[in-house]
């Protein structure tokens, strides 16, 4: 089936997003071979955007480029998931500790708005809207940290964690508990101690990791 791409987001980013989703969902199995030619035909684009997409996915360790033989799906193993969430934990704990220094209420408004949108999405059972608000919430932790390099590292892996969240969020039929977890995290960041906030964040990320591992286990 031919996939359509739009002209807003770069073509390479759009191709990468679709392929990333397929890999994380297990629709493209580890070891499967894909070609630039087939992808260019499927997405109705030139090979340039396809190469850009494969370069990005190679950086994310989701594919392995073996020229001239082709491109092979790496996929996600138990160890890959552990690595990704341990990396995110290290990044986000640092961002959280720095964000908690911010006293200006106005700078917390965007995070509070994201919490509000998560609540609305939970009420509506809208998983896609919840994912967008969830990612915005966590991105705000990095924005509050005032550490451009740290925020840049998060943004590099944000596409991967977006794909992971799109999978794990479907384990929750009722989104209210997750919405409440984010509200709790924001509250403890604003009024609790760094140790309390670190514990809440760790428990939150551990839950996401376990849901992703559960997803992978069902494919075995």
Residue 192 lies in a domain: yes
Determine, yes or no, domain membership for 141.
yes
What pLDDT, on the 0 to 100 scale, is given for residue 212? 94
**Mean per-residue pLDDT for 58-66?**
93
Q: What is the mean pLDDT of residues 195-202?
A: 98
Same domain flag for 42 and 63? yes
**134 within domain boundaries:** yes
Check whether residue 137 and residue 190 sit in a common domain: yes
Choosing from 31, 57, 73, the residue where a domain stops is 73
In a domain, 45, yes or no: yes
- Looking at the domain assignment, is residue 212 inside a domain? yes
Q: What pLDDT shows up at residue 115?
A: 98
pLDDT of residue 44 exceeding 50? yes
pLDDT by residue (tens digit) across 139-197?
999 999 999 999 999 999 999 999 999 999 988 889 999 999 999 999 999 999 999 99
CATH number, domain of 151, equals 1.20.120.530
> 5 in a domain, yes or no?
no
Regarding whether 21 and 116 lie in a shared domain, the answer is: no
Per-residue confidence (pLDDT) for residue 89, from 0 to 100: 97
Q: Are residues 107 and 174 in the same domain?
A: yes
Domain C-terminal end among 56, 73, 90: 73
* Whether residue 83 sits in one domain with residue 44: no
CATH number at residue 19: 1.10.10.10
Q: For position 218, what pLDDT does the model report?
A: 85
Q: How many domains does the chain have?
A: 2
Task: Tell me: do 213 and 109 sit in the same domain.
Answer: yes
- Whether 56 is covered by a domain: the verdict is yes
Q: What is the pLDDT of residue 70?
A: 85
Domain that holds residue 41: 11-73
DSSP per-residue codes, the chain:
-PPP--SSS-HHHHHHHHHHHHHHHTSS-TT-EE-HHHHHHHHT--HHHHHHHHHHHHHTTSEEEETTTEEEE----HHHHHHHHHHHHHHHHHHHHHHTT---GGGGHHHHHHHHHHHHHHHHT-HHHHHHHHHHHHHHHHHHHT-HHHHHHHHHHHHHHHHHHHHHGGG-S--HHHHHHHHHHHHHHHHS-HHHHHHHHHHHHHHHHHHHHHHHHTT-
């Amino acid at each position: 089936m031919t996939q359509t791409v739009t002209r807003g987001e770069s073509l390479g980013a759009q191709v990468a997003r679709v392929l990333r989703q397929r890999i994380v969902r297990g629709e493209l199995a580890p070891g499967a071979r894909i070609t630039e030619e087939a992808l260019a035909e499927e997405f109705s684009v030139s090979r340039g955007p396809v190469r850009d997409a494969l370069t990005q996915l190679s950086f994310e360790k989701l594919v392995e480029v073996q020229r001239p033989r082709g491109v092979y799906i790496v996929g996600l193993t138990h160890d890959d998931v552990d690595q990704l969430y341990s990396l995110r934990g290290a990044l986000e704990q640092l961002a959280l500790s720095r964000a908690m220094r911010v006293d200006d209420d106005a700078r917390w408004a965007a995070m509070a708005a994201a919490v509000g949108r998560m609540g609305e999405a939970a009420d509506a059972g809208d998983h896609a809207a919840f994912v967008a608000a969830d990612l915005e919430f966590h991105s705000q932790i990095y924005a509050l940290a005032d550490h451009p390099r740290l925020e840049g590292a998060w943004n590099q892996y944000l596409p991967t964690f977006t794909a992971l969240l799109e999978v794990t969020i479907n384990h929750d039929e009722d989104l209210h508990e997750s919405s409440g977890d984010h509200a709790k995290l924001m509250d403890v960041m604003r009024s609790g101690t760094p140790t309390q906030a670190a514990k809440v964040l760790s428990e939150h990320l551990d839950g996401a990791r376990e849901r992703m591992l559960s997803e992978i286990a069902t494919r075995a």
